[in-house]
Chain A
Amino acid sequence: MTVETTVLPGRPNVVGNTLTIARRNLLHIRANPEQLVEMTIQPLMFLVLFVYVFGGAIAGSSREYLQFALPGILVQGIAFTPFTTALGLNSDFTKGLIDRFRSLPIARSAVVGGRIAADGVRVVWSALIMTGFGVALGFRFGGGFAGAIGALILVTAFGITMCWPMAFIGVTARTPESVNTWGFMIILPLTFLSSAFVPIETMPGWLEALARVNPITAFIDATRGLMLGGAVATPVLKSIGWLVAITVLFSPLTIARYRNRI
């Protein structure tokens, strides 16, 4: 045996491993530039469609509706960003890459963690694009600079947190098609059954009760409060509670599933 082959890889480095995987996932954008288009155009499309199609009917004018709806559309758009987490991990499993990663002496959390770190970058990108476009269309912050920054931080934290349940779907589902089915079945009703597009008081009583306990409503109320100015303490605290709860529930489930999936 040569001297070289006896030098074995060292102990895993969680941070280094995670960053390497994150870099790899971001490099994928170069091979698939349509991802960038999707990350950019899709939220803008939602914004324009909702504000100009429904705005007049719901709020009397699209300008008024933009003020109300931008925080909701922002949270909704961000809730869909983690689909890339689920689809990316799922494709790594089906293409056999996960077997390679799991046979390497690297941190067990690095592949999922690196995926989520890369998707965190996408979340920030989408949030900035949507907010910037909203401002260009006439949105005005009522909560000042601090409110705007606070909203951006909250939305980013929300997006990264939502990566965990989506990652769980990604490592559990057998095919990309079932990732899409499960993802839409969960995310779409959650985002609509909330305060995103209409005041929840206008819903029938039973639906209003559901919308009130929906975690997405807490995030939207907090974001709206921060962006428009107004009472934010309760929804922000509720949001932080949800962030912690979702992460504590889904991160160990996801990592365990990642490790044990056959």
Chain B
Amino acid sequence: MGVPAIEAEGLVRTFGNVTALDGIDLAVTEGTVFGLLGPNGAGKTTAIRILSTLLKPHAGRATVGGFDVLTQPAEVRRRIGLTGQYAAVDELLSGEENLYMIGRLLGVSSREARSRAGALLDRFDLADAASKLVKTYSGGMRRRLDLAASLVGRPPFLYLDEPTTGLDPRSRLDLWDLIRQLVAEGTTVLLTTQYLDEADRLADDIVVIDHGRVIAAGTPLDLKTRVGGQVLQAHPLDPADLAATEQILHQFAADGDGSHVEGQVVSVTIADRSALGHAVRKLDEAGIAVEDLSLRRPSLDEVFLAITGHTATEELENEQAQEGSNA
């Protein structure tokens, strides 16, 4: 662990009588991806807005690259790129004009601004649409342009506030690739997400927040380990073998945990890794052919459930259902 590139201590922020942040500490290592994970309304965006100098905390302090967000906001802004939840690009300009404008605002020469815009459009697979108005872009294209716009100034710190919310799976994967490339080039990324798999795939360190407080912190592996052992899953080829398979796996269950069947798959939480080898032999001896036999760590959704008593997806689905009925 190096010196924290982004550091926050005891951040508090209220809006009226709603406490959005209730004393959050963060320490982001340079050149890594830090995942701020939590359901809607957990305080993720508030934290990002404080760290990007858009909002003042009511208590606590934060530094970015060693510069205080309250006393040296201009220095902080020179070093950050922000991609918010909504693609903040100008719909009435072309993609090229958007990036050129940002370059010019950052004091880059006209020629250099064009060259940076061109290079980013190429890299983000937008070269064909460069001169089209952004209002004709698809959601995925807008997000890519938004990310490109936050990179024009080549910031060492990049904040991504729910960068893939609302994107189709293909666009999500593309965006993940781009984020990984940026990190490989040395960018420090602070990522907020309500998608547990996103934090799992991208983040080196994760802080889970809920109702403005940190409820868990660690690497994705730490968090999964904390929740419990590994899960052994078997999918017998012949559905008739399901009961026999369950009986075998049951023998390896950790204390207090049983096996359970979901569809054609039997799962059991195991206490000891060697269970996999034993299970293979027992199944073989019983003459049960399996389509799939695997050992996996619990998903972060299960982690969330274990920590908060509710899954993040449940909460998200409720909110989406509400949004849907309001629309």
Contacts and interface: CB of A to CB of B under 8 A. Distances in A.
A27 interface: yes
A4 interface: yes
Interface stretch (A7-15, A176-184, A228-236): A7-15
Nearest to A23: B101
B50 to A, nearest CB: 11
Given A8-B78, A20-B104, A99-B84, 6 more contacts: A9-B106, A9-B108, A24-B101, A96-B84, A96-B85, A103-B77
A184 B107 CA distance: 38
A9 B101 contact: no
Contacts of B78: 8-9, 105
B107 A100 contact: no
B90 interface: yes
Interface string A24-43: 10011001100000000000
Contact of B88 (A21, A31, A100): A100
Nearest to B151: A5
Nearest to B46: A262
A147 B314 CA distance: 72
Which of A99, A101, A103, A262 has its CB near the most chain B CB atoms (within 10 A)?
A103
A27 B77 contact: no
A32 B79 CA distance: 35
B156 A104 contact: no
Interface residues of B, number: 42
B54 A102 contact: yes
Nearest to A27: B93
Contacts of B292: none
A7 B154 contact: yes
Interface of B: 15, 31, 49, 52-55, 74, 77-80, 82, 84-93, 97, 101-102, 104-108, 133, 135, 149-150, 153-156, 185-187
A103 B82 contact: yes
15 contacts: A1-B31, A4-B154, A5-B154, A5-B156, A5-B186, A27-B93, A27-B97, A96-B87, A99-B88, A100-B88, A102-B54, A103-B54, A104-B102, A106-B105, A262-B15
Contact of B106 (A2, A97, A106): A106
A105 B135 CA distance: 26
A207 B212 CA distance: 56
Nearest to A30: B92
Contact of A97 (B74, B88, B133): B88
Nearest to A94: B86
A27 B150 CA distance: 21
A202 interface: no
Give 4 closest A-B pairs by Cβ, nearest first: A1-B186, A96-B88, A31-B92, A9-B106
Contact of A8 (B79, B88, B92): B79
A24 B99 CA distance: 11
Given A16-B104, A104-B102, A105-B74, A96 B86 contact: yes
Contacts of B55: 262
A260 to B, nearest CB: 9
A2 B54 contact: no
Given A4-B154, A104-B102, A28 B52 contact: no
Contacts of A172: none
A165 to B, nearest CB: 25
B153 A9 contact: yes
Contacts of A10: 107
Contact of A20 (B15, B87, B101): B101
